[in-house]
Amino acid sequence: MSPIKESFATFLKTQLNEEQQKAVTQSRGSMLVVAGAGSGKTRVITARIAHLIINEQIDPFSIVAVTFTNKAANEMKKRIVHFLETENRTTQIPFIGTFHAYCLRLLKQHAKYLEYPFFSILDEDDQHKIITNIIKRNNLQKQVTAKQVAYQISFIKNRSTNPKHEIIATQPKLLQDIYTAYEQEKRESKSLDFDDLLLHTVKLLHSKKEVKQGLQKQIRHILVDEYQDTNVTQHELLKQLALRTKKQLSVDSLCIVGDEDQSIYSWRGATVTNILKLHHDFPKTKIIKIEQNYRSVQPILEVANNVIKHNQHRNPKKLWSARKGNNRICTLLCLSEYQEAEAIAQFIKLLTGSKQRNAIAILYRAHFQSRAIEETLIRHSIPYRIIGGIQFYERKEIKDLLAHLRLIVNPFDRTAFFRIINCPPRGLGQSFEELFYTRWRAEPFLSFNDIATKLINEGNLTAVKKTSLIQFLQIFEDYTHKTQPTTTLKHILKTTNYIEYLNHTCDKEEAESRIENIKELMQAFIYFEAQGTTTLEHLLDEISLMQKKMHGNQEQKQQVLLMTLHAAKGLEFNTVIIVGLDEGLLPSSRSLEYEESTEEERRLLYVGITRARERLMLMHARYRYTYGQMVEQCCSRFLDEIPQHLQQQQDVSYWNNDQLSHFFSLWLGIIIRQKSSLKTFGAAATTKQKYHRKSLAQSNGWKINQPVNHPQFGIGTVKKVEEKGNNKIYLTVNFKMGTKKITEQFLKKI
């Protein structure tokens, strides 16, 4: 047995549990691996790839592994390389990347079948600029915004492989007209947006049988991670790649990994139906459930299990852990969002040493909830960081320089051209841009060089504009899509005097910051070249796929982390604090009338809970401030789903900071020196204060089979009355369009 095989065999026996081994070693057919939170799914999917190459002797080039983020793809690549390396040799690894990266690769490989073989990729900012111009030309500024239109177009492209038909069938004429103009603009500038990468690939595979058959002959094993986050178009892409006929696999194996309990992105087009009904398109799919969790202590998993089991649309499973623990979950009833924040500050201050702080995450449903927490942490001199911010490749100076490079690669890229024609300023302002745009629209098959040359030769430009335009064209002389990135960037910086432009237009601190970013961009180019990305075209393709890349130097440690529940996906922390467990916040008010929306809110809480390794704190408030007024709150229905014996419940709504500190010290099991006697804490701190929620509401005369009227759904019949422990009555009502579970205030008795 070779050293690689021997090492890998040892890994399989000692590092994987029984269900993980099944998922790794099943060699044929379609398989759905339902991998619960913290169950080691990345280890499983990478070990499966290694198993195919090492034990099954599969050609790496016949394996395709697709995931959702560059970070996940890079982590998988590192693990595969580790499995396959020996002292003298490194085996080639298969394609591992995002859906968009794989589709871009296929489109480039089969460019001869496309309408235009060379194309630019539009990012979100580019899309908005095109749509903004369309809106302005049609005087629609008061009716719609570019952001709204771009979101709607993207949402439709994600849920339909024929977006034009979908828009005509479902959207108002205003959006139809903007969409038509947007698509025309992209065609004329030979550009695709990110959604187009998937759509054009699906179209290519559907319309060109020779391409599809060739790919299916080459690809023998497909693996897809995070399948609960896929949209309709991505599911259709998988069908085109993996099915020979409607129900017959074309590949030797198909491995789908995901967890419907972590499906939280419906707002951007993801549909949990893809994973729940996978067997409809792949009828012989074997389901393997991986339920052992390696992240959290058992009590936290029991809380998560009890919450998520109330969802009806899921594959039943129950997470468990070999890691035991006691007194790990507390639920606090606070007076308001300000006491929530104060309690958090007192808890953090108790921890000995700042090194523990970056293991604490404060999670919330919506961004606006961070304000009170931030102000309180600042007041207590507790360092914190909000996860998010402007991404590196979205910063102005970076986008300006990349636009120059894009124009070299694609001289038809209008978005890039109009971004930089007067940046730095060269006297070619709005009137010139309008003239240039009009001429370019009239002759869309000409490049920017051709249009500019025509304008210069016609002699209608002023001497200043003519000189500026000639100097602009000289920037791009002798540079093509095959030139070296670093050499080209140095040339752009020198010929545009971009550094001087920053020093002239920005204050010292801002200019220094932006110049540092440019230096970092140059360093990135050097890195790309060292990795084999030696042409502008290849480099721009790579950068276009980096949607989540942030500036490495901005990573800071030893800070409490604040983020939304959505942002917490994929992360883990020793202690997780979830605030705002009130009806209308979590679940959000927008989700309360629809069962599928409420289930997604429950999944969102489940994701938050399963981020915690050691401790979990859940917080809700008696009151919250709205327009300066204290508005009484109802605790979240999700709290009612957690058995009381799993949590330490405490009403702290009238406690002072000393009482809070004492409670947390007991919960943490630490001894602290108090400046005053425990007697000063009051009875609430030295004895167990009774935790109580509001009493159940009376039924108010609601009866089974009672007719009711709803402003949206019309007339219906009450089929079930439930009194929850959050002072609300929920009624299950049969309407003509279906059954809904609705709170009583939205219904009128007939």
User: Please, what's the b/e burial string for 705-744 (b: 16 or more CB within 10 A of its CB; e: otherwise)?
Assistant: ebebebeebeebebeebebbebbbbbbbbebeeeebbbbb
Distance CA 19, CA 104 (A): 35
**Residue 262 designated active-site:** yes
Q: Which two tokens stand for residue 723?
A: 């009194």
Q: Please state, in angstroms and as integers, the Cα–Cα distance from residue 586 to each residue in 31, 447, 600, 633, following that order.
A: 34, 52, 11, 12
Beta carbons of 253 and 53 less than 8 angstroms apart: no
Q: What residues pair up with 228 in beta bridges, in sequence order?
A: none
Cα 711-717-720 angle, rounded to 5 deg? 110
> Which is the catalytic residue, given 328, 414, 465, 611?
611
> Which is the catalytic residue, given 123, 126, 195, 225?
225
Residue with tokens 């094993």: 221
Distance CA 120, CA 186 (A): 9
Peptide bond into 424 cis (omega under 30): yes
What DSSP designation does 294 have?
S
Distance CA 733, CA 739 (A): 6
Peptide bond into 444 cis (omega under 30): no
Cβ-count burial of 191 within 10 angstroms (0-12 exposed, 13-18 middle, 19+ buried)?
buried
> Which is the catalytic residue, given 19, 123, 196, 226?
226
Distance CA 258, CA 271 (A): 13
Distance CA 411, CA 416 (A): 9
Q: Where are the beta strands (DSSP E) in 73-159?
A: 95-98, 120-122
End-to-end CA, the chain: 79
CA nearest to 721, candidates 697, 703, 748: 703
Residue with tokens 């998922």: 23
Distance CA 57, CA 27 (A): 12
**Residue 516 designated active-site:** no
Q: Where are the beta strands (DSSP E) in 557-640?
A: 560-564, 573-578, 612-621, 623-626, 629-632
Which amino acid belongs to residue 129? K
> Which is the catalytic residue, given 19, 41, 397, 413?
41
**Residue 281 designated active-site:** no
Distance CA 481, CA 460 (A): 32
- 3-state secondary structure (DSSP) of residue 721: strand
Distance CA 406, CA 540 (A): 7
Which amino acid belongs to residue 411? P
Beta carbons of 447 and 414 less than 8 angstroms apart: no
Q: Please state, in angstroms and as integers, the Cα–Cα distance from residue 159 to each residue in 182, 266, 363, 380, 418, following that order.
A: 19, 10, 29, 47, 32
Distance CA 744, CA 750 (A): 13
> Which is the catalytic residue, given 67, 228, 230, 262?
262
What DSSP designation does 55 have?
T
Distance CA 297, CA 302 (A): 9
R_g of the chain, CA atoms, integer Å: 29
> Which is the catalytic residue, given 21, 42, 91, 535?
42
**Residue 226 designated active-site:** yes
Beta carbons of 337 and 369 less than 8 angstroms apart: yes
Distance CA 401, CA 495 (A): 12
Q: Which two tokens stand for residue 68?
A: 């959702």
User: Which of left, alpha, beta for 319 (phi over 0: left; psi -120 to 50: alpha)?
Assistant: beta
> Which strand ranges, in their side-by-side order, compose the sheet holding 714-723?
738-743, 729-735, 714-723, 707-710, 748-749
Distance CA 318, CA 301 (A): 8
Q: Which two tokens stand for residue 717?
A: 């019949």
Active site amino acids: 41-42, 225-226, 262, 611
